[in-house]
Structure 1
Amino acid sequence: MVKSWLKVLVVIGSLLILSMASGCALQMVSNFDMQTEQQIMDVAKKVDRFYVQLSELPKEKRTFHFSQSTYLNIEVELSALLMRQKVRELNELTTKQVEITQNLWLQDKQQHQQVNSISDFLIKTRKQQYQRLFLAMIRGEQAKQQ
C-alpha cells in the first residue's frame, strides 16, 4: 500500500515539475535592443559613406593621410558598439560579430597605411564585406524581437 502511494506521489510530483517547466521559457540570447540596432545602422552608414567617398576620388588621392580621421572615427564607433554589447547579458554572438568587424577594420586601416593607397577592387570588396557583416548583426538583433 505504501509503495503504491509512493508511486502516485512520484507521478504527481513529476507532472507538477513538468507543468511548471513547460510554463517557463529558457532564454539563451539577450533581449532585442533598439539602441543597438540603431547604433549598428549608424556605423554601417559611416563605413558605407567612407568607401563611397574613396571611390569618388582619383587613385592618387586615396592616401592614408586623407582617410586617417575617418578611420579613427569609425574605430571609436566600433569600440563603443563593442562596449555596449559586452555589458548586455546573453549577448556573446553579437559581441563576437562586433569583435570580428572591429578586427577587420583595424587590419584594413593598417593595410591602407602601409600601401598608402586603395584600389577600386578593394573598395568594392570591402564595402560589400562590411555590408554583409552589418546586415548579419542587424538581422540577428531583429530576430531577438520574436
Structure 2
Amino acid sequence: MIIAGLLAMGAAACGDAGDEASGGGPCDVKVSTDTKVKPEITIPDCEKPTVLGTKDIVEGSGAAAKAGDAVGVNYTGISWSTKKQFDSSWAAGRQPYVVKPLGQASVIEGWNKGLVGAKKGGRRLLVIPAAQGYGAQGRQPNIGPNETLVFVVDVVSINGQ
C-alpha cells in the first residue's frame, strides 16, 4: 500500500458545476464529485506543478481536521507523468486508511500537511511535488524518481466520528 502526504495547491474556485470540478484553467486536474464512488481523475498534458497544492472538490461538514487527529480516508493516487494509478483504497475488501496522528503520521509529508483543514464527507485533491512525496528515490516499482503525485482523498471520519 502506498500512502502519500499532501499540501496546498491553491484556492482557485471550481470551474465546472456538473459532476466534475477543476480550478478552471487549462492546467487543472479534473476530479469527479460523487463521493460514493471511486473518483475519476484527469491530469492535463502540461508542466507538472512544483508546489504542494490542496483543493476541496467537495466541501465536507463539521469540524476541520487538525494536527493530532486520526483521519480516516479513502484515496486514489496517480503519477503526474504517467497518468497511471499506483494505489487506491477503493479496491475490493480494503478498509479506509487512518492517518494518525495527523501532522506526524507515517505517511509522506504532503499528506500530513494536505489533510489539515479537511472535513468529514469532503473530497480533497492533493498535488504533491516530489520533495513532499518520495523524492529523488521514488518508490519502485510504481512511482518513479522525482515524481509529482496526485491524490484524491475522501474523508470518511475524523477521530472515529
TM-score band, normalised by shorter chain: under 0.3
Which structure has the higher relative contact order (CA within 8 Å, separation 6+)? 1
TM-score by length of 1: 0.25
- The structure with the largest alpha-carbon Rg is 1
TM-score by length of 2: 0.24
Query: Normalized per residue, which structure has more strand?
Result: 2
